[in-house]
Amino acid sequence: MAVYIFKRILGLMVVIFLVLTIAFVIVRLAPGDPAALMLGPEASAEDAALLRTQLGLDRPILVQYLTFVFNAVQGDLGNSIFFNQPVTQVLLGRAEPTIFLSLFSLLIALVIATPVGIYAAYRRGSWLDQGAISTAMLAASIPSFWTGLMFQRYLATELGWFPASGYGGPDAGFWVRMGHLALPSIVLGIVNSALIIRFTRASMLDILGEDYIRTARSKGMGERRVILRHALKNAAIPIITVVGLTFALLVSGAVVTERVFNIPGMGNLIVSAVLRRDYPVIQGTLIVVATLYVLINLATDLLYLLVDKRVKY
Amino acid sequence: MKLLPNNTRPALLALLASAALAVPATAQTKLDIAIVGEADTFDPMMSTKDVVSIVTQHFVETLYTFDENWGVAPLLATELPTISDDGLTYTIGIREGITFHDGSTMDSADVVASLERWKTQSPRGKGVADKIASITATGPFEVTIQMSTPYSPLLSLLAFSNSAAAVYPSEILAETIENVVGTGPYMIAEHVPDQYLQLKRFDAYVSRSEPSSGGAGARKQLADEIRFIPVPDPNTRVEGLLSGQFDFADGLPSESFARIEASDVADPMLLRPFGWPIFAINHKAGLLTDLKTRQALQAALPIDDMLFAAFGDDNFFVVDGPMYPEGWTWRNDAGVDKYNQNDQAKAADLLKETGYDGTPLRILTSRQYEFHFKMAEVAKVALEAAGFAVEMNVVDWATLGQQRNDPALWDIYITHSPFLPEPALTDLYTSSSRLGWAEPEKDAIVAQFTVETDQAKRQELFAQLQQKLYDDVGFIKIGGFNALNGIRQGLTGVTATPWPFFWNASK
């Protein structure tokens, strides 16, 4: 297994290098001038050119790229053009809301999806199954921004049950900040539960048709035990896969939801960085996101070992 | 159904908390202000962005400011300057006993050093640098600006919070100021990027004694704290305002007006008029370097339809040709008969006279401001009806900001501006702007306008300039539009202005 992990980490290095290069090229291919944006509408082209020089953006692209790679391998992702802070510091500032938002959303999604998916499979063809599948399809079809807007308007503004947006002010303690994540977590939880419901149901349906389930039942084992002990455990691998992918996507930044609720996380940061043409932040965010994505996938693969002893690496 | 009205919840919580603690407490007034985005810099000298002006005017001050009628009024200066008869020498008295946030005392050396930096580094300051011969301290609290040529907009420039002639302690002045230190009524307490900028009352602030009037007069520091919260999504600003999260929300969508008006938490605050959308014309290269083609463009545009499409509600726009709205000293009717012609047949005739070969008219616009795009869509239909081939180049704002600096890439780009207190504060009229509108008679008027010191004569010159604008189609003012802000019910002391301030606000 150590060899497997080592190979995966080597693969991770390659992925990061590719992401690093692609990110560098893409952001520079996109038109738009960070200097002109920073100086505002009345600034002249000469002012913008001067600022570009100060920011080092007038150097040859190859020089910029090599400097970027050289610094990146030493853990220095450069300085944000907009914030005038190290990119690592900017990213660290976004870690807390994104991590907790992802965890809460995933938790809510699992709390909804696992029982619903199992029950839908167990009662295949019943109105409960049909209802669960239809609701899941509906949840997956409605864009998260619409769900976010509706929840924000009715649950936060009209009913006052949740903060409408943001992440708390200067005096906000940990729990106040977490309170600000409640509504976006519910939105993301509902949206992401749809896929997990479908995977859980499909996976459980496959397993429930297996001989050993019939054998377990014929031996007089209780239904709860058959479902939770035998069926769910064997159905877990596809479910873990989709949960892992969902978590990776959430950690990468729930762009739309963070924007709607003004959560200062990775998703919001990357949108703002693109609009501001803050090249180092775009590059840094992409590298971090790619790394997290690969690491979460690795963790997911390793999790297979725990749930299925037949899996070998 | 609301369990509790939003505006009663904080009060109820406060009541419960105070009952539980059973000790007297001093209430801290904190204002939460939702702004359209993060300020790129806290050094207003270096940016012409409105959001930078809005935020920084609370902690950085200038020698002069504008009163409620957009007249120049003293702020850090003792009074309006003494100007020599030839208009070349400005003697400015500086207020004594003014303290910077770092505890140092302001004197003429700080003012001179700050103005020197403004002259050499600020986008607006550089525009006037060649007209300033010297800036010298002629006393511990007196500064003299010697001009090489008279320049009447100087005081407006010194008063403007945008690319501001801000006064800093000379010790912190550098190409980039790391920690901005000003003299304003509030000082920076904490900044968490993309979350909030927390300002606290500056206890050593010495307010002016005159009654408050616009930015002039007394700055009362009524709130203990002001927090500027960047909220880029306009709908999120609306929801935050209506849920009671924000005391003030800047730049709200016009569609939210009715909802805010019906709310029992907040009220709409209309800035009427806020500004004017502009079709900026490329005079350096391309199709519109030809006057007749520009006149065809001018004739074809259905201004009222464009404004209606853009804003959708009469509350939010006005079809108005003069360059300044009703009530402003600069308002005049010269040339406005050419405004809003909506005559595609005339445009077609003019176009025929030019021998137009079907080269596409390139309109560079963005959906960053949806009303820009909507105006462009309507204009496109009218221009095509007149015989123009139109190519819409819809890009994001960053791209537009870059591409408009290259005359080879566009014929028209769409932008907007607030109504500025002094026409010379916009460079659109000058031949050195990115539009490159150069015309000998117009340039002579502009030159005379900037050196003339007599206000009546300046108004007459501006009327001539407006006439030239319409005759030569320098650029096209589409109309006037209003801006919508939202304010919590019970919050007083906030006036509608393009650059709202909160030092006199209380709730």
| A58-62, A304-308, B490-494: range with lowest mean pLDDT | A304-308
Say whether A276 and B398 touch across the interface (CB within 8 A).
yes
Dump pLDDT digits (tens) for B103-114.
999 999 999 999
Of B105, B239, B83, B249, residue with least CA distance to B167:
B105
Measured at the CA of A139, the angle between CA A134 and CA A145, to 5 degrees, comes to 160
Which residues from B are below 8 Å from A93, CB to CB?
192-193
Say whether A39 and B47 touch across the interface (CB within 8 A).
yes
Tokens of B387: 């015989």
Residue-averaged pLDDT of chain A: 86
pLDDT reported for residue B315? 86
pTM of the model: 0.85
Residue of A nearest to B415 (CA): A41
- Inform me whether the pLDDT recorded for B23 exceeds 70: no
Rounded to a whole number, what is the distance in Å from the CA of B348 to chain A's nearest CA? 34
- Inform me whether the pLDDT recorded for B352 exceeds 60: yes
Q: Choose from A46-55, A186-195, B47-56, B278-287 the range with maximum mean pLDDT.
A: B278-287
Confidence band of B24 (pLDDT split at 50, 70, 90):
very low
Q: Does any CB of chain A come closer than 8 Å to the CB of residue B259?
A: no
CA separation for the pair A302, A77 (Å, rounded) = 29
- Inform me whether the pLDDT recorded for B14 exceeds 70: no
Residue-averaged pLDDT of chain B: 91
B158 CB-side CA count, 13 A? 26
Which residues from A are below 8 Å from B2, CB to CB?
158-160
pLDDT reported for residue A41? 67
Residue of A nearest to B121 (CA): A47
Q: Does any CB of chain A come closer than 8 Å to the CB of residue B196?
A: yes
Contacts of A71 (CB under 8 A, 6+ apart): A77, A78
Which residues from B are below 8 Å from A167, CB to CB?
195
Dump pLDDT digits (tens) for A1-47.
778 888 888 888 888 888 888 888 887 877 777 777 777 666 777 77
A12 SS3 class: helix
| A60-64, A160-164, B308-312: range with lowest mean pLDDT | A60-64
Q: Does any CB of chain A come closer than 8 Å to the CB of residue B43?
A: no
Residue of A nearest to B193 (CA): A83
Rounded to a whole number, what is the distance in Å from the CA of A46 to chain B's nearest CA? 9
pLDDT reported for residue B16? 39
Say whether A170 and B163 touch across the interface (CB within 8 A).
no
- CA dihedral B154→B160→B166→B167, nearest 10 degrees, is 70
Dump pLDDT digits (tens) for B268-324.
999 988 999 999 999 999 999 999 999 999 999 999 999 999 998 888 999 999 999
Confidence band of A313 (pLDDT split at 50, 70, 90):
low
Say whether B239 and A30 touch across the interface (CB within 8 A).
no
Partnered with residue B109 across adjacent β-strands are none
Indicate the helix (H) or strand (E) that contains B252: strand B248-252
pLDDT reported for residue B1? 36
Partnered with residue B134 across adjacent β-strands are B146
Say whether A43 and B9 touch across the interface (CB within 8 A).
no
Amino acid at B57: Q
Rg for chain A (alpha carbons), in Å?
24
The share of chain B scoring above pLDDT 70, in percent, equals 95
pLDDT reported for residue A279? 86
Average pLDDT (A86-99) is 92
Rounded to a whole number, what is the distance in Å from the CA of A45 to chain B's nearest CA? 6
Average pLDDT (B477-503) is 95
- Inform me whether the pLDDT recorded for B13 exceeds 50: no
B483 SS3 class: strand
- ipTM for the predicted complex comes to 0.82
Rounded to a whole number, what is the distance in Å from the CA of B32 to chain A's nearest CA? 9
Which residues from B are below 8 Å from A163, CB to CB?
243, 245
Dump pLDDT digits (tens) for B426-470.
889 999 889 999 999 999 999 999 999 888 999 999 999 999 999
DSSP calls for B414-450: EEEEEPPSSGGGS-TTSTTSTT----HHHHHHHHHHH
- Is residue B131 within 8 A of residue B51, CB to CB? The reply is no
pLDDT reported for residue B248? 98
pLDDT reported for residue A240? 86
pLDDT reported for residue A42? 66
Picking from B6, B194, B433, the nearest residue to A264 by CB comes out as: B194
Which residues from A are below 8 Å from B1, CB to CB?
159
Which residues from A are below 8 Å from B366, CB to CB?
none
Average pLDDT (A132-145) is 86
Size of interface A-B (CB pairs under 8 A): 155
Of A223, A212, A193, A196, residue with least CA distance to A122:
A223
